[in-house]
Structure 1
Amino acid sequence: MTEERIRHVFAGAGAEGQLHAIPVLARTRAAGKGGTEPFPREVAAGADDPVVIASIFKVLLVLEFARQVAAGQLDPRERVRVTAADRLGGWGTAGCLDDVELSLRDLAHFTMSVSDNSAADVLLARVGLDTVRLLAKELGLDRTRIVGGPRELLESMLAEVGARDEREFAVRYPALPDDRKRRLAVLDPRHTTASTPREITRLLRLIWTDAAGPPEACALVRDLMGRQVFRHRLVSGFPDDVTVAAKTGTLPGLHMEAGVVRYPDGECFAVAVFARTHDLTASRPTVDAAIGEAAGIAVGFLRGGGR
């Protein structure tokens, strides 16, 4: 019934949704004759079907950065320059009008807090794409595939549309028929950076239990996820006293967020929610609200012991 409620929420927003939610730590409750029994272990709706993860891949990127810092391979204070050639448009350094100099640590901050695509690309070049891929395998994320950073995805979109730059893309893309837009490789989990909702919650659980690397590396990722400025998806599904550390991802027709919600009593739940809309508008407040509502339903079921 919980999964049916979740599907109904997405249908009401004109979308199809996939979700996986788990407690960060296993939980038990008192049972008859002085014994214990487990609480529900998960809520799953399409949890093993592949999904495009877009900017959620930045969690793995920043985790690899944090692990290299903890191992002494990188100095987080190392200065780098983000130039006009690095700009992709959008938030943070990606939208700056002038060159910016900052530390690797601040690149990680912008990558997570405002989903800065230029910062993510520069950081990825420093830590290495292959090491991020190897990290996914090390953590048992066997169905997670990273094809590249934001620039590779943008260049893929430009090439498919036949645009020389973002300005030309902004003219050509709206004129395409919807069926042509839906065939873009970046919207197809078979051809782009992808995973499953279950693997994303596994990643979050590993980070929150210090099992994804040295404790100081996991702590840095948790801290940076807690700084995300976007509060319109998962956060909307929970009371004000519940904290959410998360990472969003957005592409035309695709809306997603994965994170950990923490209650005042210390209970934590990892949630990954992915929504695909029937139209391809980039901004859909009703879908964003549905992501929060679906997450709230799932976590409420887990927290309430399945009642």
Structure 2
Amino acid sequence: MAPPSAADKVTARLQVIFGEAGVEGFVHARDIDGDGDAREVALRADAPVIVASIRKIAVAVAYAREVAAGALDRAARHTITAANREGGGIGTDSCLHDVTMSTRDLAFFMLSMSDNAATDKLMEILGTDRVRAVAAELGCPALPVGRYRDLWEPVWAELGLDPDGDIDAQLDQVSEDRIRGLAMLDPTRSASSTPREITSLLTAIWRDRAGPAEACAEVRELMSHQLSTHRLIAAFAADVRVAAKNGSLWGVLNEAAVVEYPDGGRYAVAVFLRTPALGGRNPAADAAIGRAARTAVDHLRRAPAAADTTPEETT
């Protein structure tokens, strides 16, 4: 019987990480400057997954393309109103009053703090059809690209909730089983992507293939400002540049990123989790995202001569 390959060993290590955290994990990582998929780590990499806010990367690409083409002014002023806010979110989504900011700052709030209201305003400016076309062109044809209000209305209807009432109070009366059964949380019944599609999208951005070089550079810069650092980013040393976008939903924790080392190595990695708990803090799951990403990237960085060595987690 042949000994396990390096690929088998890293896959087994990922399974252990997810098992210890009590989650189901999906991973894809690739060497951005490598030869196709020859240098990759894959665990259920082609399974459909719920992407949550990772979808905002495609919105950012659509925005940056329009700016690079001269069709959209970065400095133009736009007002986020109650029509864009769901309430209880992050950034302008929780503001009590209208907020005016530039087009560029809408994109910044969208990626840095995952501001849903800023995203909806940007979607309103760009148009759903344009964002959908960009996502499809970049290999993510099933990615959810609508405004948040449009994405959530079917959920409230499925649960029999009054969208004009107190949603949080109504949700308190809904059982966990009914929430788990939502189409929104089933990637076979709703908009979705795969870990491989997401790392392909990131690779296109980092190799200036997702649009004009100016547009790709802007998306890279915007992604470098994510405020949340407790999942994937926490697993890498301070001298490693990580540009990331995370996402969360009931029973879903995700993060996708490009990790760039001082020696020039660049790696796209996407980790998607399904968790037993629907919400609340989950330090073990958060840490598993970082550990899985670090394990995958460490594997890709190993010299060919060390191909039969099991990657070790380091700090």
Establish whether TM, by shorter chain, passes 0.5. yes
Any residues of structure 2 matched to 1:1-307 within 5 Å, and which?
A: 1-26=9-34, 41-89=39-87, 90-142=89-141, 144-146=142-144, 148-165=146-163, 168-305=166-303, 306=307, 307=309
Matched residues in 1 for 2:84 and 2:135: separation? 26
Give the aligned CA root-mean-square deviation in angstroms: 1.8
In the alignment, structure 1 segments of 5+ residues that lack a partner are 28-37
Q: Can you list the C-alpha shifts for 1:38-71, whole angstroms capped at 9, x where unaligned? A: 9961000000000011111100001001001111
Retained in 2: the 8 A contact 1:246–1:258? yes
1:89-132 deviation per Cα after TM superposition (whole angstroms, max 9, x unaligned): 21111111111111111100100000000110110111111111
Q: What are the ranges of 5 or more consecutive residues in structure 2 without an aligned counterpart?
A: 1-8, 310-315
Distance 2:145 2:92 in 1: 23
Letter in 2 for 1:115: S
Q: Partners in 2 of 1:292 and 1:301 — Cα distance?
A: 14
Partners of 2:191 and 2:18 lie apart in 1 by: 23
SS in 2 for 1:272: strand
8 Å CA contact 1:161, 1:172 repeated in 2: no
Q: Deviations over 1:8-50 (max 9, x none)?
A: 11111111000000011017xxxxxxxxxx9961000000000
SS at match of 2:83: helix
Report the alpha carbon displacement of residue 166 of structure 1 after superposing the two structures with TM.
Answer: 8.1
SS at match of 2:189: coil
The 3 A distance-change label for structure 1 pair 159 and 246 is same
Are the counterparts in 2 of residues 20 and 272 from structure 1 also a CA contact under 8 Å?
A: yes
In structure 2, do the counterparts of structure 1 residues 304 and 126 end up closer, same or farther at CA, with 3 Å as the change threshold? same
Q: Which residue type is aligned with residue 135 of structure 1?
A: V
Tell me the matched-pair count: 296
Bigger shift: residues 133-142 or 225-234: 133-142
Cα 1:100–1:242 shift into 2, 3 Å: same
Matches of 1:102 and 1:211, distance apart in 2: 29
TM-score, with length taken from structure 1? 0.91
Is contact 2:59–2:145 with CA below 8 Å preserved after alignment?
Answer: no
Q: Is the 8 A contact 1:148 1:193 kept in 2?
A: no
Cα shift readout 1:161-205 (whole Å, capped 9, x = no counterpart): 222248733223243332211111221113333100000000000
> Relative to structure 1, is the Cα distance of residues 242 and 180 closer, same or farther in structure 2, using a 3 angstrom cutoff?
same
User: Structure 2 length as normaliser, TM-score?
Assistant: 0.89
User: AA paired with 2:41?
Assistant: V
